[in-house]
């Protein structure tokens, strides 16, 4: 047994200076980078509503949430750097379409109810997926996940609170919430990835204790957690096959459109082009700041004055 295998068998964390197989390092960089990119691209759908928030209170909340997502991206890029990845290189891979980000952020936010539904369902799905990642085998990732999960829980609560307020409002507001739930439900289920039988990475990632549960296990957990919340809220989940299965002690539910997930992941979702174009523009707009910071750092390290 290698030192790496012994550490995994004892449920110990793998730390940056530990010896690890190249394939483990590559898998960790892949997952952490995709996760970081998702947080950064994930600022866009809700960010579009900051200037159109219906009150100062809602605007302050939304601004803070979107800033938290930027922070999550930064912790995650830092975690990827502990594995030898270069953040500039990861960003280039994202904007050139060579590295993935979550499918969920390629759908449009049509009304302010979408902000609430993203908090409730999308952050809810993110929490379900990420709480087990706090026990992931790679130390810096697992530790980043603890703080991220705390913030995501707060995000989910704010989304649910927004929806509770709208559901107590006019018939038109209730209809907006239902419409947003109808549009975000299936894409939220797709966030957990392809079904287990079609997930190429799960078996190895479970063996390496990067993933602690399969995609389908986490999807099931999310459905079971969300159904009572939907009923408390007074909305219907758009799945005619959704029902409690007494024998299993879990809900049965319909299958998402897996072809749609494949299309969205491969770049052909409703807003993939717009999301990447916006990220590319932000990268170009920020180039002078990075150049100035690098010049300052080079000058400071060579003992020059400012
Ligand atoms: N979208 O073999 P698997 C958030 C890819 S953060 C796009 O099952 P794996 C916070 C997958 O990467 C949301 N691609 O792969 C927030 C793989 O690609 P490859 C992001 C997907 O890695 C809230 C291929 O398909 N969360 O929401 C998707 O074992 C609100 C085969 O799949 C994370 O990244 C998808 N839905 O499992 C922000 C969590 N599903 O091999 C703003 C960490 C699969 O070609 C507002 N990541 N793929 O490179 C994970 O837990 C895993 O990576 C999974 C995929 C579960 C996403």
Residue 212 CB less than 6 A away from ligand 1: no
Residue 128 CB less than 6 A away from ligand 1: no
Residue 272 CB less than 6 A away from ligand 1: no
| Helix, strand, coil abundance in the chain, percent, nearest 5 | 70, 5, 30
Residues 169, 71: Cα–Cα separation, whole Å: 33
Task: Give, for 302, the enclosing helix (H) or strand (E).
Answer: none
Residue having the nearest C-alpha atom to atom 30 of ligand 1: 123
Which atom belonging to ligand 1 lies closest to the Cα atom of 205?
A: 29
Cα distances (Å, whole numbers) of residue 77 to 82, 105, 107, 180: 9, 19, 24, 31
Residue 235 CB less than 6 A away from ligand 1: no
pLDDT of residue 304: 65
pTM listed for this prediction: 0.96
The CB-side HSE value for 159 (13 A sphere, CA atoms) comes to: 27
Q: Which residues partner with 244 through β-bridges?
A: 251
Closest of 105, 85, 83 to residue 25, by C-alpha: 83
296 CA → ligand 1 middle, Å: 37
Which atom belonging to ligand 1 lies closest to the Cα atom of 215?
A: 56
Which residue among 193, 194, 196, 200 is best mutated to probe the pocket of ligand 1, counting the most ligand atoms within 8 A of its Cβ? 193
pLDDT of residue 301: 87
Q: Give, rounded to a whole angstrom, the gap between the first and last alpha carbons of the chain.
A: 54
pLDDT along the chain (306 residues), means of 10: 95 96 98 98 98 97 98 97 97 96 98 98 98 97 96 96 98 98 98 98 97 98 98 98 98 98 97 98 96 93 70
Residue 214 CB less than 6 A away from ligand 1: no
pLDDT of residue 305: 57
Residue 153 CB less than 6 A away from ligand 1: no
């Amino acid at each position: 047994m290698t030192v790496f295998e012994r550490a995994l068998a004892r449920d110990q964390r793998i730390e940056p200076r530990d010896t690890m197989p190249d394939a483990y390092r590559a898998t960790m960089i892949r997952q952490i980078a995709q996760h970081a990119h998702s947080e950064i691209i994930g600022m866009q759908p809700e960010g579009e509503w900051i200037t159109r928030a219906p009150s100062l209170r809602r605007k302050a909340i939304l601004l803070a949430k979107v800033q938290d997502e930027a922070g999550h991206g930064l912790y995650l890029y830092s975690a990827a750097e502990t594995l030898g990845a270069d953040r500039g290189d990861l960003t280039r891979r994202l904007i050139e379409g060579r590295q993935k980000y979550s499918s969920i952020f390629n759908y449009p936010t049509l009304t302010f109810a979408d902000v609430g539904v993203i908090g409730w369902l999308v952050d809810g799905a993110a929490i379900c997926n990420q709480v087990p990642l706090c026990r992931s085998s790679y130390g810096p990732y697992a530790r980043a996940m603890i703080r991220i999960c705390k913030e995501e829980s707060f995000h989910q609560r704010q989304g649910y609170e927004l929806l509770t307020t709208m559901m107590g409002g006019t018939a038109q507001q209730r209809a907006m919430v239902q419409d947003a739930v109808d549009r975000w439900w299936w894409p939220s289920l797709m966030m957990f990835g392809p079904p287990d039988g079609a997930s190429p990475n799960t078996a190895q990632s479970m063996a390496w204790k990067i993933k602690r549960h399969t995609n389908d296990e986490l999807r099931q957990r999310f459905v079971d957690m969300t159904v009572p919340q939907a009923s408390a809220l007074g909305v219907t989940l758009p799945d005619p096959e959704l029902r409690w299965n007494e024998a299993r002690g879990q809900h049965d539910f319909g299958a998402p459109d897996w072809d749609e997930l494949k299309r969205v992941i491969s770049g052909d979702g409703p807003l993939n082009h717009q999301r990447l174009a916006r990220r590319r523009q932000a990268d170009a707009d920020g180039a002078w700041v990075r150049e100035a910071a690098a010049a300052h750092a080079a000058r400071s390290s060579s003992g020059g004055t400012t």
